[in-house]
Structure 1
Amino acid sequence: MLDPHRLRVFRAVVSSGGVQAAADNLGLTSSAVSQHLAALARETGLTLFQRQGRGIVPTQAGVELADQSEEAMSQWGRLDSVVADLREGRTGRLTVGYFASAGSAWMPALVKELTAEMSDLTVDLVLTEVTSRNVTPDIDIITDLPDSPPRAGYRRVYLANDPYVAVVARDHELASQRSVALADLRGETWVSNDLVGNPGHKILVQACAAAGFTPRFTVQAQDHYSAIQFAAAGVGVSVMPRLAARSLPPEVTRLRITDPAPVREIAAMVRETGRPNPAAERMLEMLIDLNTHPARRGRPTIA
């Protein structure tokens, strides 16, 4: 069985580019780092580094071990956190998955309230739309296509519909309008704000196809924040969910889209564990309440 501490030292050497740099970063002596590397090489039976000039570089096997050990070290770090929680008397842990716009608009206030109510709870937040980690959230806030298959081990709870809007520069010829037909954006330069293949991108492209055209994405921003800045600079227009365009700089405005109006559905996937999970149920209750009575709770929702 591999020693996690030796793996940490090994990964530090690979990342920092040398033994001395890793030793400085870790607060160890260079000889201690070298001893850990030698011990790990014996444990694995692999040649992990080779000489290059006056230093060392990882071999192909070393590079592969560093890459493949990332998930294992992440899980080991999670176990360290569990031990720390138990030592400090925190016995509960909730893992919440989210996508970017829901994370910025909803999660800070909800997590603050939940941990105020449950002082012994630790909340892990995972951006599940981009992570490569093998995580199993207790609650996963998602957007899905209507024909998406059920997720094994989870129940799906509807939260809200999130219509798309067009974000344009204040000096754009459409900026004075309150709404725009989707087909009227046909000839515009488009700025993407999502990854190709993601549900949100597919919903938008399908709506454009229903309007009789294919959008011409000249700028591949692939995130809402960058896309908004490109629109502000007058580079093009960006069509995104309204939740992502909730807070805009003064240089841009948003327009309601009609004929057809693309809409994404937001849902919470709640893990079925066969035993009560009060923290997950409370988070779900807060999410539903947020989208049902936003004014009463005084928090941002889709508006």
Structure 2
Amino acid sequence: MLDPHRLRIFRSVIANGSIQAAASQLGYTPSAVSQQVALLQRETGLTLFERSGRGIVPTSYGKALAVESDEVIASLSRLSGVVADLRDGVTGRLTMGYFASAGSSWVPRMARKLMDEFPQLRLDLILNEFPDGQQSIHPDIDVIVQSRYYERPLPTGYRQQHLADDPYVAVVHQEHPFAGRAAVSLAELRDEIWVDNDFANGMCRHVIMGACDAAGFTPRFQVQAQDHFTAIAFVAEGIGVTVLPGLAARKLPHTVRAIPVVDPEPVRQISVLIKESIVHRPIGQRAVELLLQCVATPEAAL
């Protein structure tokens, strides 16, 4: 088994670009860092660095080891956190995953109340987004807010509970002809310039693309934005329109308007997944209760 301490030193050398810089960062002597790297190379039987001019660069083996060790180092860091919690007398720990718009609307209020009620709780929050329409669960997540699972089995060891239906809205500039409308049909947006708000091609994109297929057209994306906030900023400058879940459009610049989309009405269904091991624990039950309260009272304090 590889020595974790040597692995961390090796990763520091790669991150800092040299043994000298890694030694300065870690508070070691260059010879001590060089010795640990040499021992790791002997341990693995691989050449991890090679000479380049007056310095060194990682070999293909070194780069691969650095990438593959990410998860190991993260797990060791989490384990160190557990040890620290036990040493400090923290008796409960909950890890919660969320997507961006839930994180800005529901999760902070839920987390504040949960930490007030369980002062000894160690609450870890993880942004858990899914590229390319794929859904995966971080192995340490106890509770996760996400788009509802369909046409696939639930992850092993989890239960699912519906949280909310999240209808989509069209975000347009205040001077757009649709700005004063109570609703807009999806087909009416056919000829608009669209600002893409889900560049990763995640679940939000899949919902709207399915609705556009039903309406008989493909959106003309002329601006690629990485997220909802950036897409809305483009619209605020008068560049196109964007269509996104209503939850992502609750805090808008004064120069844009959000209009419900109908005929067909795209809807993102949001659920909470709970590990079966904590379903009946007070902390798990309370976390779900508070989430449901946040959904029911989006603007009110709990």
The secondary structure found in structure 2 opposite 1:64 is: helix
Does residue 32 (structure 1) correspond to residue 36 (structure 2)? The answer is no
Of 267-276 and 128-137, the range deviating more from structure 2: 128-137
Of 283-292 and 74-83, the range deviating more from structure 2: 283-292
Q: In structure 2, what is the equivalent of residue 61 of structure 1?
A: 61
Does residue 220 (structure 1) correspond to residue 224 (structure 2)? The answer is yes
Supply the AA of the counterpart residue of 2:76: W
CA RMSD of aligned residues (A): 1.9
Q: In structure 1, what is the equivalent of residue 170 of structure 2?
A: 166
Kindly tell me the number of residue pairs found equivalent between the two proteins.
298
Out of 182, 206, 219, which is 1:202 matched to? 206
Question: CA separation of 1:6/1:248 partners in 2, compared to 1, >3 Å: closer, same or farther?
Answer: same
Q: In structure 2, what is the equivalent of residue 157 of structure 1?
A: 161
Q: In structure 1, what is the equivalent of residue 114 of structure 2?
A: 114
Supply the AA of the counterpart residue of 1:164: Y
Please, which runs of 5 or more residues in structure 1 have no aligned partner?
A: none
Question: CA separation of 1:52/1:133 partners in 2, compared to 1, >3 Å: closer, same or farther?
Answer: farther
Question: CA separation of 1:170/1:191 partners in 2, compared to 1, >3 Å: closer, same or farther?
Answer: same
Supply the AA of the counterpart residue of 1:91: T
Q: Displacement, 1:180?
A: 1.2
Q: Residues 107-145 of structure 1: CA distance to partner in whole angstroms, max 9, x if unpaired? A: 112111111111111111111214988434111111136
Q: In structure 1, what is the equivalent of residue 266 of structure 2?
A: 262
Distance 1:183 1:26 in 2: 59
Q: Displacement, 1:293?
A: 4.1
Out of 269, 278, 298, which is 2:301 matched to? 298
Q: In structure 2, what is the equivalent of residue 185 of structure 1?
A: 189
Distance 2:17 2:277 in 1: 44
Supply the AA of the counterpart residue of 1:288: L
Q: In structure 2, what is the equivalent of residue 49 of structure 1?
A: 49
Q: In structure 1, what is the equivalent of residue 125 of structure 2?
A: 125
Distance 2:10 2:147 in 1: 39
Q: Displacement, 1:13?
A: 0.9
Distance 1:208 1:181 in 2: 11
Question: CA separation of 1:172/1:29 partners in 2, compared to 1, >3 Å: closer, same or farther?
Answer: farther
Distance 1:195 1:147 in 2: 23
Q: In structure 2, what is the equivalent of residue 77 of structure 1?
A: 77
Q: In structure 2, what is the equivalent of residue 251 of structure 1?
A: 255
Distance 1:195 1:239 in 2: 13
Question: CA separation of 1:275/1:201 partners in 2, compared to 1, >3 Å: closer, same or farther?
Answer: closer
Q: In structure 1, what is the equivalent of residue 101 of structure 2?
A: 101
Q: Displacement, 1:150?
A: 2.8
Does residue 231 (structure 1) correspond to residue 226 (structure 2)? The answer is no
Taking structure 1 as the reference length, what is the TM-score of the superposition? 0.92
Question: CA separation of 1:244/1:97 partners in 2, compared to 1, >3 Å: closer, same or farther?
Answer: same
Supply the AA of the counterpart residue of 2:54: R
Question: CA separation of 1:62/1:147 partners in 2, compared to 1, >3 Å: closer, same or farther?
Answer: same
Distance 1:149 1:138 in 2: 18
Contact persistence 2:171–2:259 (CA under 8 A): yes
Contact persistence 1:196–1:202 (CA under 8 A): no
Out of 148, 151, 159, which is 1:147 matched to? 151
Question: CA separation of 1:276/1:258 partners in 2, compared to 1, >3 Å: closer, same or farther?
Answer: closer
Distance 2:290 2:278 in 1: 22
Contact persistence 1:9–1:36 (CA under 8 A): yes
Contact persistence 1:71–1:133 (CA under 8 A): no
Supply the AA of the counterpart residue of 2:86: L
Identity of matched residues, %: 50
Q: Residues 163-208 of structure 1: CA distance to partner in whole angstroms, max 9, x if unpaired? A: 1011112222322323211111000111111145422211101111
Distance 2:199 2:275 in 1: 26
Of 175-184 and 123-132, the range deviating more from structure 2: 123-132
Q: Displacement, 1:275?
A: 7.6
The secondary structure found in structure 2 opposite 1:244 is: helix
Distance 2:253 2:43 in 1: 55
Supply the AA of the counterpart residue of 1:177: R
Q: Displacement, 1:294?
A: 4.2
Please, which runs of 5 or more residues in structure 2 have no aligned partner?
A: none
Of 274-283 and 134-143, the range deviating more from structure 2: 274-283
